[in-house]
Amino acid sequence: MRYIVTIFWTFLLVNMVMYVGGSMIGSTYDFKTASMLSAAVSILIFIASAILPQPVEEK
């Protein structure tokens, strides 16, 4: 379930950033490019979460 939620939020946030960033510099918004970038960012998030050490819970 956490993978689906991560993909969903990454998709929304990357598309939002691409839209707003494109509007600020005066370029066009491309849904296909933003969606491919969101897939790449999702993969990077999964890799980072696998590499980073998990915190140890103290009892």
Question: pLDDT (tens digit, 9 = 90+) per residue, 11-57?
Answer: 999 999 999 999 999 999 999 999 999 999 999 999 999 999 888 88
Q: How far apart are CA 4 and CA 24, in angstroms?
A: 30
Task: Give yes or no for residue 59 having a pLDDT over 80.
Answer: no
pLDDT confidence of residue 53 = 84
Task: Give yes or no for residue 2 having a pLDDT over 90.
Answer: no
Helix (H, G, I), strand (E, B) or coil at 53: coil
Task: Give yes or no for residue 7 having a pLDDT over 90.
Answer: yes
pLDDT confidence of residue 57 = 84
CA dihedral over 36, 2, 45, 18, signed as positive or negative: positive
